[in-house]
């Protein structure tokens, strides 16, 4: 059976055989870089198209259907348009920070790709603090947003950036506590270990109620962290026109736009790894035949299937809910989500001590 | 008068919302003083799309000037025309045939539903929910189709003329309206399920943009804005015109005075409009659809005033005639202008998000304010 693991191994051994040593490592790094950028491009195009189709279905429209077969080339055409547009820098803007911000947000998103396991034994960097690495690198993006908002010399941008700063920093706490809640069960921060611990059942099923609460809190918190509706206050278009990226145009705007979608993919991938078993197939108790059939589905399909399911959930949120107000948003986090998730962590500790999850 | 850019001496932000801004639904220009996210002062700047409709009307005949008024509050075009037609009829002392009166009222109420539909979608969009907008337009489209078949136009209908209506009803008019009503009753429940009952939406709307009954009266607010502050001011009920005196309907009153009360008044008004149409649609009497009038209308010397209830509130038409074929002076009392003037009172001290929610419940149509 052809799997991503087999391809990886074949490439690796070919490189070792024909180039060998340090040069092989360099070649592998370059290949990985190209792969990540390609993944970004493909994901960006796919997710933007998916968002437009999902919203179209919800809004009784057809969505893009003119460019290419069934509109599949619409996002490519849009990207081409954005590339050809002039990237303006407004007068009075801090040129250096203004131009740096979109790249920073992209680089942060790219770095997070490293420890994510896309399939069985298919991971760029098996770091033993994988989940910690993800949450720490993800918090760089708030600096990029603040940079963009401040350097634009626009009041709407500044207001949007300030909102975003308050929002992301607050919700990172809940997301972090939800992650810790799951770490209590797995006993390891490594992405591979977390997935391996779910071989005989995903955490959302065998983690009892605390795992489900943690999952819900995690999904709410990451929706807020990625600035998606109903928490899209940073770019609330009816209030702040476009928030922190009001002044950006052309490809610089596209990078922000792309980063938003990549971030959605990343947080959903993390949720899939923590709660839904990453690339682990679905196994039900003693149903041997069923489990066997599930094993035949490639692990990459399991991973991407779960991730896209969660992305669909987040898109569903966006097209259904109205937006919260800034004080309500912070109230929700500090008065409800954070205390609940802390309590939930205690509950999970009890579950872990009593070993109820086995 | 504040500066339009920069900051105040106290270091507060001054930002311009509009004339090109997604929240202002058109070209309203607000100059807002902000302390952080809190609003300290709002100053509407008018005149961006002033087209001197009142002055234009002075050089048009009594038949012609009605068409211009469709462009005032374009979402209530029928009702604007109705007000003008009634005012001219008052001067001419023409008796409008009963059939024409029935048609006018049905059309008015369809317009009211269409207008509230659009407001509902835009309101939801203001507080960040995009999907309701499309649901609202789906139903509004059905009304527009009925309008198109009957009047030949979808937005600026120009169907009302002095003495009645321009043309008789389309043969399938009654059936189409009845189909629409049957469908629409279910849709209102869907709206309530999707938006009204949503906890985020209620949190955004309740206790926001409070307007007391005294303030509503002193600012001259009318329509749903005043009725949400428990000021009974429905012209259809207080000063009935055409067949409004014959139909049973309730004047929707709420006591909350906040954004949610204004929202809820409009939702209930849509249901009342449905009720009015239901009473009339089966009983349209046979007969003339237009009274016999002279080819050239001349109003006697004097002053004539007529008020009607548009979707936004009380619209007054004031004609001063010198006895000629054109009015000497025309003045419109538009509901949007008075309602907008209360915005500072409502939104001061709130957050930017509150301003957007409050402005949404005012249901502003800018050409109605600027004329």
Domain ranges of chain A: 89-354
pLDDT at B5: 59
pLDDT at B318: 92
pLDDT at residue B18 greater than cutoff 80: no
Question: Is A325 in Cβ contact with B351 (below 8 Å)?
Answer: yes
Judge whether B154 and B148 are in contact, CB under 8 Å.
yes
Instruction: Label residue A350 exposed, middle or buried (CB < 10 Å: 0-12, 13-18, 19+).
Output: exposed
Say if B197 is an interface residue toward chain A (CB within 8 Å): no
Using an 8 Å CB-CB cutoff, list chain A residues near B126. Answer: 238
Q: How near does any CA of chain A get to the CA of B196, in Å?
A: 11
H or E element at residue B13: strand B13-17
pLDDT tens string B43-84: 888 888 888 888 888 888 888 888 888 888 888 888 999 999
pLDDT at A275: 87
Question: Is B128 in Cβ contact with A232 (below 8 Å)?
Answer: yes
pLDDT tens string A211-267: 888 899 999 988 888 888 788 877 766 677 777 788 888 888 888 888 888 888 988
Q: What is the mean pLDDT of residues A295-323?
A: 86
Interface test mutation site (partner A, options B21, B124, B130, B203, max chain A beta carbons within 10 A): B130
User: For chain B, which domains are there?
Assistant: 1-48 (no CATH), 49-370 (1.10.645.10)
Q: Find the closest chain B residue to A232 by CA distance.
A: B128
Please list, in sequence order, all residues whose beta carbon lies within 8 angstroms of the beta carbon of residue B139, skipping any fewer than 6 positions away: B117, B183, B184, B187
Question: Is B198 in Cβ contact with A328 (below 8 Å)?
Answer: no
Using an 8 Å CB-CB cutoff, list chain A residues near B133. Answer: 59
Q: How many other CB atoms sit within 10 Å of the CB of residue B47? A: 10
Question: Is A323 in Cβ contact with B200 (below 8 Å)?
Answer: yes
Using an 8 Å CB-CB cutoff, list chain B residues near A60. Answer: 134-135, 138
Q: Find the closest chain A residue to B12 by CA distance.
A: A155
pLDDT at A128: 85
For residue A240, what are its two tokens? 């702040």
The complex's ipTM works out to 0.78
Nearest to A241 among B21, B130, B200 (CB): B21
Nearest to B23 among A239, A322, A327 (CB): A239
For B191-220, the DSSP string reads HIIIIIT-HHHHHHHTT-S---HHHHHHTT
Nearest to B354 among A240, A320, A325 (CB): A325
Q: How near does any CA of chain B get to the CA of A328, in Å?
A: 8
Judge whether B99 and B289 are in contact, CB under 8 Å.
yes
pLDDT at residue A21 greater than cutoff 80: no
The distance of Cα A223 from the centroid of its chain, to the nearest Å, equals: 10
pLDDT tens string A144-192: 888 888 888 888 888 888 888 888 888 888 888 988 888 888 888 888 8
Question: Is B200 in Cβ contact with A324 (below 8 Å)?
Answer: yes
Interface test mutation site (partner A, options B32, B204, B352, max chain A beta carbons within 10 A): B352
pLDDT at B302: 87
Question: Is B21 in Cβ contact with A322 (below 8 Å)?
Answer: no
- The SS3 assignment for B11 reads coil
Q: How many other CB atoms sit within 10 Å of the CB of residue B12? A: 15
- The SS3 assignment for B155 reads coil
Please list, in sequence order, all residues whose beta carbon lies within 8 angstroms of the beta carbon of residue B152, skipping any fewer than 6 positions away: none
For A160-225, the DSSP string reads HHHHHHHHHHHHHHHHHHHHHHHHHHH----HHHHHHTTTTS-HHHHTHHHHHHHHHHHHHHHHHH
pLDDT tens string B96-133: 888 888 888 998 999 999 999 999 988 888 888 888 88
Question: Is B351 in Cβ contact with A327 (below 8 Å)?
Answer: yes
pLDDT at B8: 73
- The SS3 assignment for B30 reads strand
């Amino acid at each position: 059976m052809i799997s991503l693991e087999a391809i990886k191994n074949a490439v690796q051994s070919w490189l070792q055989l024909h180039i060998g040593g340090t040069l092989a490592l360099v070649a592998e790094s370059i290949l990985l870089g190209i792969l990540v950028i390609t993944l970004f491009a493909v994901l960006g195009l796919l997710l933007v198209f998916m968002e437009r189709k999902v919203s179209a279905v919800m809004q009784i429209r057809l969505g893009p259907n003119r460019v290419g077969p069934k509109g599949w080339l619409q996002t490519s055409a849009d990207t081409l348009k954005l590339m050809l547009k002039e990237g303006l820098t407004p007068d009075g803007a801090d040129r250096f920070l203004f131009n740096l911000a979109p790249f920073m947000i992209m680089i942060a998103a790219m770095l997070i790709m490293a420890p994510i396991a896309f399939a069985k034994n298919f991971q760029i960097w098996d770091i033993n603090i994988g989940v910690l690495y993800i949450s720490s690198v993800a918090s760089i993006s708030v600096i990029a947003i603040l940079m963009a908002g401040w350097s634009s010399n626009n009041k709407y941008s500044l207001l949007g950036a300030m909102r975003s700063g308050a929002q992301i920093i607050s919700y990172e706490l809940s997301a972090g506590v939800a992650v810790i809640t799951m770490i209590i069960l797995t006993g390891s921060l490594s992405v591979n270990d977390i997935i391996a611990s779910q071989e005989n059942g995903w955490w959302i099923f065998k983690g009892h109620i605390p795992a489900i609460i943690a999952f819900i809190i995690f999904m709410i918190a990451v929706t807020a962290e990625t600035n998606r509706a109903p928490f899209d206050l940073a770019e609330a278009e009816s209030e702040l026109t476009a928030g922190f990226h009001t002044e950006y145009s052309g490809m610089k705007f596209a990078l922000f736009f792309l980063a938003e979608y990549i971030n959605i993919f990343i947080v959903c991938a993390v949720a899939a790894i923590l709660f839904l078993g990453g690339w682990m197939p679905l196994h039900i108790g003693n149903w041997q035949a069923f489990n066997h059939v599930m094993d035949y589905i490639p692990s990459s399909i399991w991973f991407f299937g779960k991730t896209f399911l969660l992305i669909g959930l987040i898109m569903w949120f966006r097209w259904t809910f109205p937006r919260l107000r800034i004080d309500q948003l912070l109230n929700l986090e500090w008065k409800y989500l954070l205390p609940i998730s802390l309590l939930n962590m205690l509950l999970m500790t009890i579950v872990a001590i009593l070993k109820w999850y086995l | 008068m504040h500066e339009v850019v920069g900051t105040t001496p106290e270091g507060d932000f001054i930002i311009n919302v509009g004339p090109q801004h997604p929240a202002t639904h058109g070209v309203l220009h607000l100059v807002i003083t902000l302390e952080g996210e809190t609003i300290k002062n709002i100053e509407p700047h008018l005149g961006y799309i002033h087209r001197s409709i009142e002055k234009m009307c002075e050089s048009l005949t009594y038949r012609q000037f009605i068409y211009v008024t469709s462009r005032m509050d374009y979402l209530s075009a029928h009702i604007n025309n109705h007000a003008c037609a009634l005012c001219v009829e008052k001067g001419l002392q023409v008796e409008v045939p009963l059939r024409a009166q029935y048609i006018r009222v049905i059309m008015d109420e369809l317009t009211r539903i269409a207008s509230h539909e659009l407001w509902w979608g835009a309101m939801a969009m203001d507080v960040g929910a995009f999907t309701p907008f499309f649901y609202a337009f789906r139903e509004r489209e059905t009304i527009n189709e009925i309008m198109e078949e009957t009047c030949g136009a979808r937005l600026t209908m120009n169907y009302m003329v002095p003495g009645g209506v321009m043309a008789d009803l389309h043969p399938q008019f009654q059936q189409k309206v009845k189909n629409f009503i049957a469908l629409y009753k279910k849709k209102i429940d869907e709206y309530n399920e999707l938006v009204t009952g949503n906890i985020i939406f209620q949190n955004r709307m309740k206790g926001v943009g409070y307007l007391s009954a005294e303030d509503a009266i002193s600012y001259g607010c009318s329509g749903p804005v005043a009725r949400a502050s428990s000021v009974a001011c429905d012209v259809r009920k207080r000063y009935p015109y055409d067949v409004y005196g014959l139909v049973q309907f309730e004047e929707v009153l709420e006591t909350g005075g906040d954004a949610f009360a204004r929202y809820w008044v409009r939702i209930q008004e849509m249901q009342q409009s449905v009720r009015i149409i239901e009473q009339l649609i089966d009983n349209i009497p046979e007969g003339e659809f237009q009274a016999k009038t002279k080819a050239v209308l001349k109003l006697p010397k004097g002053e004539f005033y007529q008020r009607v209830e548009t979707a936004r509130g009380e619209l007054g038409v004031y004609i001063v005639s010198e006895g000629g074929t054109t009015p000497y002076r025309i003045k419109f009392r538009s509901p949007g202008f008075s309602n907008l003037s209360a915005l500072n009172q409502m939104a001061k001290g709130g957050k930017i998000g509150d301003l957007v929610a409050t402005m949404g419940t005012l249901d502003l149509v800018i050409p109605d304010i600027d004329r």
